[in-house]
Structures are given as structure tokens and as C-alpha cells.
Amino acid sequence: MSREGQTSQPKYLRIAAELRGALERGDYQPGDRLPGENTLAADFDVAPLTMRQALGVLRSEGLVGSRKGSGWFVESFRPIRRRGIPRLARGQWGSGKTIWSADDHRAPDVDQITVQEDTPPPEHISDVFELAPGETVCVRSRRYVMEGRPVMVAESYLPQSLVAGSPITQADTGPGGIYARLADLGHAPARFREEIRVRMPSAEEAARLAIPADRSVIKLARTAFDSEGRAVEINEMTMDSATYVLDYEFDA
């Protein structure tokens, strides 16, 4: 190997840094196709596999994506801001600049929606609901897309005994959505808990979100409690970690 890198940084990292700079300078526009692996490998004077390694770094960062048989493409990073706590009083705080600029005004559309009644729940769900053995749940599954691209899948779990026969078991829950219907049933959500963790996607999650296997996902589990402290809904969301900025605002 050449002795030039006195800092002894690996080739693939130096190439990745060089390409990252080119992308940030705007040498390639979002959606543009990059030269093929072999062409790039010749340009940078490395073996194809080393070139792949460099491109893989940028892919895991969300800067580029690859389509088999087609090529490498520049991805646009326009994060979506999700407000965890609905802003009630829009006062002086609304004007403050945020750390990471993100489109506030776009909201994803629902792409797919399925409802399954009378399903045996996963263990961690029945634990939180404190269900008796054999009790089942209703599962509402939705996928959200933005500009044609899947960005989030969400699965809502509700105790079957609570929602049987209500509009919650229909695809269209009517005005106000699930929470309004829970209120109709006398279990209006009074408090929420949101738990966030990050991990690598399963093969199914990666396919459903159309993200590479080496891009991590955010798991956000939102539990709704009624006024008596009973957990009445759990919404488990899975998001592409490269497209979301989460936002929580609260008083001291």
C-alpha cells in the first residue's frame, strides 16, 4: 500500500470523506446517479471491494442509496420533525430557532392500513396491558409515506375486550381517530408515555421501510393511559432513523 497517509487512515475512509465532501459541495444533486463501482474504483485507484466499502459508509449515513442492477444514487436529507407533545399554547416559544432545521409543515400520508381483531399479543404488549392469559388484542397496522417514500410503520395494539364492536375495529375510525373513539368508550387518554430506542432493523422492517439493512431504525413506543391509569393503547412505531427529528417541549 502507498505510504502517503501519514495519519494512516484507511483508504475506504479517506475515499468516503472525499465523496462526502463532493456531496456536501453539491457536485451531485439529489437523485443523481453516481458512476458505477468499477468506474469509481478505477478513478480512486483501489480495488472494487474497497470502493464498495467506502460507498457503504455513505449509505449507512443516509447520503446515498443503491439499487441492484441499476446503480448508486444521491439521497436527499430533508428530515421530518415529529412533535411528541402537542403544542397547546403557542406563545413566545414558537419563535425560537431549532438546532436541526426540518420541515415542520409536511405530514406523511397513510399508505397501507390493516386491522386484525382477536390476535394473541406479543409478550411485552400483554405485560403492559396486564392481560390475563388467553386475552387477545386488536392490532391496527399502518404505513406512512412521504413523497412516495415509506418513512414509518406503526402498529397500534388495543385490548380486544375494550374495543370489540366499536369503530376502532374498522379501517376508518372516523373524526378524531382512535383517541376520540376511546373517549366515546369512556377511556379517554389522560396521559402518555413515549419510550425511544434505536436498533438495527429486522429483514422485514428493512423491506417494509425500503431502507438498507445497515441503516438503523428508531423504535418509538407510545403508551396511552386513561384517567384511572389503565393502559388502553400501545402504538409501536418504526422509523427510518435518517429522516426523523423528534421534538419534545415542556415546562420546567
Partner DNA sequence: CAGTGGTCTAGACCACCAA
Partner DNA sequence: TGGTGGTCTAGACCACTGC
Task: Return phi, psi of residue 83, to 5°.
Answer: -85, 120
CB-based contact 242:184 (threshold 8 Å): no
Q: Which three cell numbers stand for residue 23?
A: 456531496
Neighbour tally for 181: CB within 10 Å: 21
Stretch of 22-30, 33-41, 193-201, 222-230 contacting DNA, by CB under 7 A: 33-41
Find the distance separating the first CA and the last CA of the chain, reported in whole Å. 57
Name the nearest CA neighbour of 106 among 142, 81, 143, 77.
81
32: contact with DNA by CB under 7 A: no
User: Nearer Cβ to DNA, position 180 or 206?
Assistant: 206
Q: Return the closest-CA partner of residue 17 out of 53, 42, 68.
A: 53
Partnered with residue 234 across adjacent β-strands are 157, 223
> Shortest CA distance to 199 belongs to which of 145, 238, 248?
238
User: Quick one: which of 17, 20, 53, 141 contacts DNA (CB under 7 A)?
Assistant: 53
Q: Which of 170, 195, 204, 207 binds its own copies (CB under 8 A)?
A: 195
Q: By CB under 8 A, which span of 29-37, 66-74, 158-166, 215-223 interacts with its own copies?
A: 215-223
1 is an interface residue for DNA by CB under 7 A: yes
193 interacts with, out of its own copies, DNA, none, CB within 5 to 8 A per kind: its own copies
Residue numbers of the site for its own copies (CB under 8 A)? 13, 57, 60-62, 79, 84-85, 91-93, 95-100, 124, 127-128, 130, 188-200, 203, 214, 216, 218, 221, 223-225, 228-229, 231, 234, 236, 241-242, 244-252
Residue numbers of the site for DNA (CB under 7 A)? 1, 8, 10-13, 34, 36-39, 45-50, 52-53, 66-72
